Amino acid sequence: MNPSNGHEAVIGGFYTDSPYPWRAHTLQQPLDPGLYPALLSQAVGDFDHRRIAPDGAVWVAGCGVNQALITAQRHPSARVVGTDVSEGSLALCDQGRKELGLDNLELRQEGLTAARYHEEFDYIVCTGVLHHNPDPSALLQHLAAALRPTGVLEVMVYNTYHRRNPVAFQQATRLLAADTASVPSTGRALADALDLRNSLAGDLAEARLQPDAAFTDTWLNPYELTFTVEEFRALAERCGLLLEAPRTGPHDDSGEAALWDVVLHDAALRERYEACDDHTRWRIAQLLLAEESPYNWFYLRRADAPLPASSDTSRNAAFLAARAAPVAAAQRTWALRGAEGYRVLVESSPLPVMPVAPEFRALWEHLTPEWTIGQTCTRLGLPTDPQTVRRMRAQLTTPEFPYVLSVPA
Protein backbone atom coordinates (compact mmCIF):
# COMPACT_ATOMS: atom_id res chain seq x y z
CA MET A 1 0.00 0.00 0.00
CA ASN A 2 1.05 3.55 -0.70
CA PRO A 3 -1.50 5.75 1.06
CA SER A 4 0.58 8.78 0.02
CA ASN A 5 0.95 10.57 3.33
CA GLY A 6 0.84 9.99 7.06
CA HIS A 7 -2.63 11.39 7.47
CA GLU A 8 -4.15 9.11 4.85
CA ALA A 9 -2.45 6.20 6.62
CA VAL A 10 -4.19 7.21 9.87
CA ILE A 11 -7.56 7.42 8.12
CA GLY A 12 -6.93 4.08 6.42
CA GLY A 13 -6.20 2.46 9.76
CA PHE A 14 -9.28 4.08 11.32
CA TYR A 15 -11.63 2.62 8.70
CA THR A 16 -9.86 -0.74 8.75
CA ASP A 17 -10.54 -0.95 12.49
CA SER A 18 -14.08 0.38 12.12
CA PRO A 19 -15.37 -0.05 8.53
CA TYR A 20 -18.26 2.29 7.78
CA PRO A 21 -20.71 2.23 6.17
CA TRP A 22 -21.08 -1.47 6.84
CA ARG A 23 -22.09 -3.87 4.08
CA ALA A 24 -25.41 -2.86 2.53
CA HIS A 25 -28.26 -5.26 3.35
CA THR A 26 -29.68 -4.98 -0.18
CA LEU A 27 -28.32 -3.75 -3.50
CA GLN A 28 -30.27 -2.97 -6.66
CA GLN A 29 -28.85 -3.59 -10.11
CA PRO A 30 -30.66 -1.90 -13.06
CA LEU A 31 -31.10 -4.22 -16.01
CA ASP A 32 -30.77 -1.39 -18.56
CA PRO A 33 -27.04 -0.51 -18.75
CA GLY A 34 -27.77 2.90 -20.23
CA LEU A 35 -30.31 4.08 -17.65
CA TYR A 36 -28.09 5.63 -14.98
CA PRO A 37 -25.53 7.17 -17.36
CA ALA A 38 -28.47 8.94 -19.06
CA LEU A 39 -29.95 10.05 -15.73
CA LEU A 40 -26.55 11.39 -14.64
CA SER A 41 -26.28 13.38 -17.87
CA GLN A 42 -29.76 14.79 -17.25
CA ALA A 43 -28.79 15.84 -13.72
CA VAL A 44 -26.25 18.28 -15.19
CA GLY A 45 -28.67 19.53 -17.84
CA ASP A 46 -27.66 17.30 -20.76
CA PHE A 47 -30.91 15.92 -22.12
CA ASP A 48 -29.14 14.62 -25.23
CA HIS A 49 -27.28 12.10 -23.00
CA ARG A 50 -23.82 12.94 -24.32
CA ARG A 51 -21.89 13.84 -21.14
CA ILE A 52 -21.69 10.32 -19.71
CA ALA A 53 -21.41 7.38 -22.10
CA PRO A 54 -22.52 3.94 -20.84
CA ASP A 55 -19.12 2.47 -21.80
CA GLY A 56 -17.00 5.23 -20.27
CA ALA A 57 -14.38 5.13 -17.51
CA VAL A 58 -15.40 5.71 -13.88
CA TRP A 59 -13.31 6.26 -10.74
CA VAL A 60 -14.76 5.86 -7.24
CA ALA A 61 -12.15 7.61 -5.11
CA GLY A 62 -12.31 6.64 -1.45
CA CYS A 63 -14.79 3.91 -2.31
CA GLY A 64 -15.22 2.40 1.15
CA VAL A 65 -17.28 -0.77 1.48
CA ASN A 66 -20.28 -0.09 -0.79
CA GLN A 67 -19.84 2.90 -3.09
CA ALA A 68 -17.83 1.10 -5.78
CA LEU A 69 -20.33 -1.78 -5.81
CA ILE A 70 -23.28 0.57 -6.27
CA THR A 71 -21.49 2.50 -9.00
CA ALA A 72 -20.38 -0.62 -10.88
CA GLN A 73 -23.94 -1.97 -10.80
CA ARG A 74 -25.32 1.30 -12.14
CA HIS A 75 -22.65 1.53 -14.87
CA PRO A 76 -22.27 -2.13 -15.94
CA SER A 77 -20.82 -1.30 -19.37
CA ALA A 78 -18.21 1.07 -17.94
CA ARG A 79 -14.71 0.34 -16.67
CA VAL A 80 -14.95 1.17 -12.96
CA VAL A 81 -11.93 1.67 -10.69
CA GLY A 82 -12.44 1.82 -6.93
CA THR A 83 -9.62 3.05 -4.67
CA ASP A 84 -9.31 3.41 -0.91
CA VAL A 85 -6.57 3.61 1.72
CA SER A 86 -8.37 1.23 4.10
CA GLU A 87 -7.33 -2.39 3.71
CA GLY A 88 -10.32 -3.57 5.73
CA SER A 89 -12.88 -1.61 3.72
CA LEU A 90 -11.38 -2.81 0.43
CA ALA A 91 -11.45 -6.42 1.62
CA LEU A 92 -15.19 -6.17 2.30
CA CYS A 93 -15.75 -4.38 -1.00
CA ASP A 94 -13.81 -7.06 -2.88
CA GLN A 95 -15.87 -9.76 -1.20
CA GLY A 96 -19.01 -8.04 -2.46
CA ARG A 97 -17.50 -7.64 -5.93
CA LYS A 98 -16.98 -11.38 -6.21
CA GLU A 99 -20.41 -12.27 -4.82
CA LEU A 100 -22.14 -9.86 -7.21
CA GLY A 101 -20.06 -10.93 -10.21
CA LEU A 102 -18.93 -7.38 -11.00
CA ASP A 103 -16.27 -8.07 -13.60
CA ASN A 104 -16.24 -4.40 -14.62
CA LEU A 105 -14.88 -3.31 -11.22
CA GLU A 106 -11.17 -3.14 -10.34
CA LEU A 107 -10.14 -2.33 -6.76
CA ARG A 108 -6.84 -0.72 -5.77
CA GLN A 109 -5.44 0.16 -2.35
CA GLU A 110 -4.35 3.69 -3.02
CA GLY A 111 -4.56 7.12 -1.41
CA LEU A 112 -5.79 10.09 -3.42
CA THR A 113 -2.48 11.93 -3.34
CA ALA A 114 -0.72 8.80 -4.60
CA ALA A 115 -3.00 8.66 -7.64
CA ARG A 116 -1.36 9.69 -10.89
CA TYR A 117 -4.27 9.61 -13.33
CA HIS A 118 -4.39 12.15 -16.15
CA GLU A 119 -7.65 12.86 -17.97
CA GLU A 120 -8.55 9.19 -17.64
CA PHE A 121 -12.12 9.25 -16.32
CA ASP A 122 -15.48 10.47 -17.62
CA TYR A 123 -17.12 10.28 -14.20
CA ILE A 124 -15.49 10.47 -10.78
CA VAL A 125 -17.26 9.91 -7.46
CA CYS A 126 -15.66 11.13 -4.22
CA THR A 127 -18.06 11.44 -1.31
CA GLY A 128 -17.13 11.83 2.34
CA VAL A 129 -13.36 11.88 1.73
CA LEU A 130 -11.99 15.40 1.31
CA HIS A 131 -13.24 16.59 4.70
CA HIS A 132 -11.09 13.98 6.47
CA ASN A 133 -7.79 15.48 5.30
CA PRO A 134 -6.07 18.68 6.49
CA ASP A 135 -5.18 19.57 2.87
CA PRO A 136 -8.34 18.96 0.81
CA SER A 137 -6.94 21.08 -2.04
CA ALA A 138 -4.18 18.54 -2.64
CA LEU A 139 -6.72 15.74 -2.91
CA LEU A 140 -9.12 17.71 -5.10
CA GLN A 141 -6.30 18.66 -7.48
CA HIS A 142 -5.63 14.97 -8.09
CA LEU A 143 -9.32 14.42 -8.83
CA ALA A 144 -9.34 17.38 -11.22
CA ALA A 145 -6.27 16.05 -13.03
CA ALA A 146 -7.94 12.68 -13.54
CA LEU A 147 -11.13 14.14 -15.05
CA ARG A 148 -11.56 14.26 -18.81
CA PRO A 149 -12.38 17.69 -20.28
CA THR A 150 -16.15 17.13 -20.47
CA GLY A 151 -16.37 14.76 -17.49
CA VAL A 152 -18.47 14.98 -14.34
CA LEU A 153 -17.00 14.97 -10.82
CA GLU A 154 -19.39 14.17 -7.95
CA VAL A 155 -18.17 15.38 -4.54
CA MET A 156 -19.71 15.55 -1.08
CA VAL A 157 -18.13 17.39 1.85
CA TYR A 158 -19.55 18.06 5.29
CA ASN A 159 -21.88 21.03 5.72
CA THR A 160 -20.71 23.33 8.54
CA TYR A 161 -24.28 23.81 9.76
CA HIS A 162 -24.73 20.04 10.24
CA ARG A 163 -21.56 19.40 12.18
CA ARG A 164 -21.24 21.97 14.94
CA ASN A 165 -21.93 19.55 17.80
CA PRO A 166 -19.91 16.56 16.51
CA VAL A 167 -16.92 18.82 15.79
CA ALA A 168 -17.10 20.37 19.27
CA PHE A 169 -17.26 16.90 20.82
CA GLN A 170 -14.30 15.69 18.74
CA GLN A 171 -12.20 18.67 19.80
CA ALA A 172 -13.04 18.17 23.48
CA THR A 173 -12.22 14.47 23.19
CA ARG A 174 -8.80 15.18 21.69
CA LEU A 175 -8.01 17.60 24.50
CA LEU A 176 -8.86 14.93 27.07
CA ALA A 177 -7.20 11.97 25.33
CA ALA A 178 -3.73 10.93 26.44
CA ASP A 179 -2.67 10.32 22.84
CA THR A 180 -4.14 9.83 19.35
CA ALA A 181 -4.55 6.08 19.82
CA SER A 182 -6.77 6.60 22.85
CA VAL A 183 -9.19 9.05 21.18
CA PRO A 184 -11.90 6.45 20.39
CA SER A 185 -11.95 4.98 23.91
CA THR A 186 -11.82 8.46 25.47
CA GLY A 187 -14.69 9.61 23.28
CA ARG A 188 -16.90 6.67 24.23
CA ALA A 189 -16.15 7.23 27.92
CA LEU A 190 -16.87 10.95 27.58
CA ALA A 191 -20.16 10.28 25.80
CA ASP A 192 -21.28 8.02 28.64
CA ALA A 193 -20.07 10.37 31.40
CA LEU A 194 -21.54 13.70 30.24
CA ASP A 195 -24.34 15.29 32.24
CA LEU A 196 -25.57 18.13 30.02
CA ARG A 197 -28.91 19.61 28.97
CA ASN A 198 -28.06 21.23 25.65
CA SER A 199 -28.30 20.48 21.93
CA LEU A 200 -24.97 18.62 21.96
CA ALA A 201 -26.26 16.27 24.65
CA GLY A 202 -29.44 15.63 22.67
CA ASP A 203 -27.56 14.86 19.46
CA LEU A 204 -25.09 12.69 21.34
CA ALA A 205 -27.82 10.67 23.05
CA GLU A 206 -29.43 9.97 19.68
CA ALA A 207 -26.08 9.03 18.14
CA ARG A 208 -25.32 6.55 20.95
CA LEU A 209 -28.40 4.56 19.87
CA GLN A 210 -26.71 3.87 16.54
CA PRO A 211 -24.40 0.90 15.92
CA ASP A 212 -20.89 1.56 17.21
CA ALA A 213 -19.37 1.87 13.72
CA ALA A 214 -21.81 4.65 12.82
CA PHE A 215 -21.19 6.50 16.09
CA THR A 216 -17.42 6.15 15.68
CA ASP A 217 -17.47 7.50 12.12
CA THR A 218 -19.67 10.48 12.99
CA TRP A 219 -18.36 11.49 16.41
CA LEU A 220 -14.84 10.05 16.82
CA ASN A 221 -13.19 10.51 13.43
CA PRO A 222 -9.46 11.36 13.69
CA TYR A 223 -9.80 14.45 11.52
CA GLU A 224 -12.64 16.54 10.13
CA LEU A 225 -13.18 19.75 8.18
CA THR A 226 -16.52 21.35 7.41
CA PHE A 227 -17.52 23.79 4.68
CA THR A 228 -20.11 26.38 3.85
CA VAL A 229 -21.21 26.25 0.22
CA GLU A 230 -19.14 29.39 -0.44
CA GLU A 231 -16.04 27.78 1.07
CA PHE A 232 -16.64 24.67 -1.01
CA ARG A 233 -16.99 26.79 -4.14
CA ALA A 234 -13.70 28.58 -3.38
CA LEU A 235 -11.94 25.26 -2.81
CA ALA A 236 -13.20 23.96 -6.15
CA GLU A 237 -12.14 27.07 -8.05
CA ARG A 238 -8.62 26.93 -6.58
CA CYS A 239 -8.37 23.49 -8.15
CA GLY A 240 -9.63 24.55 -11.59
CA LEU A 241 -13.17 23.28 -11.03
CA LEU A 242 -16.68 24.79 -10.95
CA LEU A 243 -19.73 23.75 -8.97
CA GLU A 244 -22.13 22.79 -11.75
CA ALA A 245 -25.31 21.52 -10.11
CA PRO A 246 -26.46 20.26 -6.70
CA ARG A 247 -27.15 16.58 -6.22
CA THR A 248 -30.01 15.52 -3.99
CA GLY A 249 -28.35 13.16 -1.52
CA PRO A 250 -29.87 9.95 -0.17
CA HIS A 251 -30.16 11.52 3.31
CA ASP A 252 -32.05 14.61 2.12
CA ASP A 253 -35.80 14.71 1.80
CA SER A 254 -37.42 15.74 -1.47
CA GLY A 255 -38.68 19.19 -0.49
CA GLU A 256 -37.31 22.64 -1.29
CA ALA A 257 -34.56 22.35 1.31
CA ALA A 258 -33.03 19.34 -0.45
CA LEU A 259 -33.06 21.31 -3.71
CA TRP A 260 -31.11 24.28 -2.33
CA ASP A 261 -34.26 26.38 -2.39
CA VAL A 262 -36.43 28.39 -0.02
CA VAL A 263 -40.08 29.39 -0.32
CA LEU A 264 -40.66 33.15 -0.22
CA HIS A 265 -44.25 34.37 0.00
CA ASP A 266 -43.40 37.84 -1.23
CA ALA A 267 -43.42 38.44 -4.98
CA ALA A 268 -40.79 41.19 -4.96
CA LEU A 269 -38.38 39.19 -2.79
CA ARG A 270 -38.99 36.10 -4.88
CA GLU A 271 -38.16 38.02 -8.04
CA ARG A 272 -34.92 39.31 -6.53
CA TYR A 273 -34.05 35.83 -5.29
CA GLU A 274 -34.56 34.30 -8.73
CA ALA A 275 -32.48 37.07 -10.32
CA CYS A 276 -29.44 35.96 -8.30
CA ASP A 277 -26.84 33.68 -9.87
CA ASP A 278 -26.81 30.05 -8.75
CA HIS A 279 -24.04 30.46 -6.19
CA THR A 280 -25.75 33.41 -4.51
CA ARG A 281 -29.06 31.55 -4.30
CA TRP A 282 -27.29 28.52 -2.81
CA ARG A 283 -25.64 30.77 -0.23
CA ILE A 284 -28.97 32.40 0.68
CA ALA A 285 -30.63 28.99 0.99
CA GLN A 286 -27.87 27.60 3.21
CA LEU A 287 -27.83 30.67 5.46
CA LEU A 288 -31.60 30.59 5.96
CA LEU A 289 -32.03 26.82 6.21
CA ALA A 290 -28.97 26.47 8.48
CA GLU A 291 -28.97 23.01 10.12
CA GLU A 292 -31.82 21.97 7.79
CA SER A 293 -29.84 22.85 4.66
CA PRO A 294 -28.78 20.04 2.30
CA TYR A 295 -25.50 18.19 2.22
CA ASN A 296 -22.72 19.95 0.30
CA TRP A 297 -23.16 17.37 -2.45
CA PHE A 298 -22.49 18.71 -5.93
CA TYR A 299 -21.61 17.81 -9.49
CA LEU A 300 -18.48 19.67 -10.60
CA ARG A 301 -16.92 20.29 -14.00
CA ARG A 302 -13.54 21.51 -15.17
CA ALA A 303 -13.32 25.30 -15.47
CA ASP A 304 -11.79 24.84 -18.94
CA ALA A 305 -14.42 22.35 -20.12
CA PRO A 306 -15.29 22.87 -23.81
CA LEU A 307 -18.98 23.06 -22.92
CA PRO A 308 -21.63 25.79 -22.89
CA ALA A 309 -22.05 27.70 -19.64
CA SER A 310 -24.20 25.78 -17.18
CA SER A 311 -26.76 27.26 -14.79
CA ASP A 312 -30.15 26.49 -13.32
CA THR A 313 -31.62 28.72 -16.01
CA SER A 314 -29.99 26.73 -18.82
CA ARG A 315 -30.86 23.40 -17.20
CA ASN A 316 -34.49 24.47 -16.79
CA ALA A 317 -34.62 25.53 -20.44
CA ALA A 318 -33.13 22.23 -21.60
CA PHE A 319 -35.64 20.32 -19.47
CA LEU A 320 -38.65 22.20 -20.86
CA ALA A 321 -37.37 21.81 -24.44
CA ALA A 322 -36.81 18.05 -24.10
CA ARG A 323 -39.15 15.41 -25.42
CA ALA A 324 -39.45 12.64 -22.87
CA ALA A 325 -41.25 9.53 -21.73
CA PRO A 326 -41.75 7.79 -18.38
CA VAL A 327 -39.08 5.28 -17.39
CA ALA A 328 -40.30 1.70 -17.59
CA ALA A 329 -37.27 -0.29 -16.53
CA ALA A 330 -36.45 -3.25 -14.29
CA GLN A 331 -33.88 -4.09 -11.64
CA ARG A 332 -32.41 -7.13 -9.93
CA THR A 333 -32.29 -7.07 -6.12
CA TRP A 334 -29.49 -8.71 -4.15
CA ALA A 335 -29.70 -9.41 -0.42
CA LEU A 336 -26.90 -10.04 2.08
CA ARG A 337 -27.45 -13.44 3.66
CA GLY A 338 -24.93 -13.90 6.43
CA ALA A 339 -22.03 -16.17 5.57
CA GLU A 340 -23.52 -16.82 2.12
CA GLY A 341 -22.88 -13.22 1.12
CA TYR A 342 -24.96 -11.52 -1.55
CA ARG A 343 -27.57 -13.66 -3.26
CA VAL A 344 -30.30 -12.72 -5.73
CA LEU A 345 -33.49 -11.95 -3.82
CA VAL A 346 -35.69 -10.80 -6.73
CA GLU A 347 -34.61 -11.52 -10.29
CA SER A 348 -36.61 -8.69 -11.83
CA SER A 349 -38.88 -5.99 -10.43
CA PRO A 350 -40.13 -2.66 -11.79
CA LEU A 351 -37.94 0.44 -11.70
CA PRO A 352 -38.72 3.06 -10.46
CA VAL A 353 -40.01 1.57 -7.23
CA MET A 354 -41.73 4.45 -5.46
CA PRO A 355 -44.64 6.40 -6.98
CA VAL A 356 -44.08 9.82 -8.49
CA ALA A 357 -44.64 12.81 -6.18
CA PRO A 358 -48.39 13.62 -6.34
CA GLU A 359 -47.82 17.18 -7.57
CA PHE A 360 -45.97 15.90 -10.66
CA ARG A 361 -48.00 12.78 -11.36
CA ALA A 362 -50.21 14.40 -14.01
CA LEU A 363 -47.16 15.59 -15.95
CA TRP A 364 -45.52 12.17 -15.69
CA GLU A 365 -48.67 10.39 -16.91
CA HIS A 366 -49.09 12.68 -19.93
CA LEU A 367 -45.49 12.79 -21.15
CA THR A 368 -45.07 11.74 -24.77
CA PRO A 369 -42.22 12.23 -27.27
CA GLU A 370 -44.74 14.01 -29.52
CA TRP A 371 -44.61 17.06 -27.25
CA THR A 372 -41.85 18.83 -25.37
CA ILE A 373 -42.11 18.84 -21.59
CA GLY A 374 -42.85 22.56 -21.74
CA GLN A 375 -45.68 22.01 -24.21
CA THR A 376 -47.11 19.28 -21.99
CA CYS A 377 -47.02 21.63 -19.00
CA THR A 378 -48.90 24.25 -21.03
CA ARG A 379 -51.53 21.75 -22.16
CA LEU A 380 -52.07 20.67 -18.54
CA GLY A 381 -52.03 24.22 -17.17
CA LEU A 382 -49.00 23.51 -14.96
CA PRO A 383 -46.81 26.38 -13.74
CA THR A 384 -43.34 26.77 -15.22
CA ASP A 385 -41.81 29.32 -12.87
CA PRO A 386 -38.11 28.70 -12.08
CA GLN A 387 -38.65 27.09 -8.68
CA THR A 388 -41.34 24.70 -9.90
CA VAL A 389 -39.23 23.66 -12.89
CA ARG A 390 -36.19 23.08 -10.65
CA ARG A 391 -38.29 20.76 -8.53
CA MET A 392 -39.71 18.99 -11.59
CA ARG A 393 -36.22 18.36 -12.94
CA ALA A 394 -34.82 17.13 -9.65
CA GLN A 395 -37.76 14.92 -8.74
CA LEU A 396 -38.37 13.39 -12.17
CA THR A 397 -35.16 13.18 -14.20
CA THR A 398 -32.18 12.48 -11.90
CA PRO A 399 -30.47 9.33 -10.54
CA GLU A 400 -32.23 9.83 -7.19
CA PHE A 401 -35.64 10.17 -8.88
CA PRO A 402 -35.46 7.96 -12.02
CA TYR A 403 -38.92 8.59 -13.44
CA VAL A 404 -38.34 10.30 -16.80
CA LEU A 405 -35.86 9.94 -19.65
CA SER A 406 -35.61 12.37 -22.51
CA VAL A 407 -35.84 10.99 -26.02
CA PRO A 408 -32.87 12.58 -27.82
CA ALA A 409 -33.54 13.82 -31.33
Asked if residue 128 and residue 29 are part of one domain, the reply reads yes
Torsion, Cα of 339, 342, 345, 348 (10° steps): -170
3-state secondary structure of 97: helix
Whether the predicted pLDDT of 211 surpasses 90: no
Span 52-73, average pLDDT: 97
**pLDDT, tens only, 375-403:** 999 999 999 999 999 999 999 999 999 99
Asked if residue 174 and residue 41 are part of one domain, the reply reads no
Span 96-114, average pLDDT: 96
Higher pLDDT, 46 or 209: 46
User: Could you tell me what percent of the chain has a pLDDT over 90?
Assistant: 81
Dist. CA 109–CA 10, nearest whole Å: 14
C-alpha distance from residue 103 to each of 23, 35, 57, 351 (Å):
19, 19, 14, 23
3-state secondary structure of 26: strand
Rounded to 5 degrees, what are φ and ψ at 148?
-70, 160
Domain boundary pick from 317, 352, 377? 317
In a domain, 350, yes or no: no
Whether the predicted pLDDT of 5 surpasses 90: no
Q: What is the pTM of this model?
A: 0.93
Asked if residue 189 and residue 52 are part of one domain, the reply reads no
Asked if residue 252 and residue 146 are part of one domain, the reply reads yes
Span 210-221, average pLDDT: 86
Dist. CA 100–CA 106, nearest whole Å: 13
Span 79-92, average pLDDT: 95
Confidence category of residue 10, pLDDT binned at 50, 70, 90: confident
pLDDT score at 164: 94
**pLDDT, tens only, 153-197:** 999 999 999 999 999 999 999 999 988 778 888 999 999 999 999
The domain of 189 spans 164-219
Query: Number of folded domains in the chain?
Result: 2
CATH of residue 288's domain is 3.40.50.150
In a domain, 111, yes or no: yes
pLDDT score at 60: 99
pLDDT score at 4: 47
Dist. CA 291–CA 287, nearest whole Å: 9
| Burial (CB count <10 Å: 0-12, 13-18, 19+), residue 381 | exposed
> Helix H segments across 53-162?
67-74, 87-100, 136-146
Asked if residue 229 and residue 185 are part of one domain, the reply reads no
Say which range, 61-70, 87-96, 208-217, has the weakest mean pLDDT. Answer: 208-217
Asked if residue 308 and residue 233 are part of one domain, the reply reads yes
Whether the predicted pLDDT of 8 surpasses 80: no
Domain boundary pick from 285, 317, 349? 317
> Helix H segments across 147-277?
164-176, 183-193, 199-207, 212-219, 229-238, 267-275
Whether the predicted pLDDT of 1 surpasses 80: no
Whether the predicted pLDDT of 150 surpasses 90: yes
Higher pLDDT, 40 or 248: 40
User: Could you tell me what percent of the chain has a pLDDT over 70?
Assistant: 96
| Burial (CB count <10 Å: 0-12, 13-18, 19+), residue 145 | middle
Whether the predicted pLDDT of 11 surpasses 60: yes
Asked if residue 189 and residue 126 are part of one domain, the reply reads no
Asked if residue 144 and residue 98 are part of one domain, the reply reads yes
**pLDDT, tens only, 227-256:** 999 999 999 999 999 999 999 865 554 445
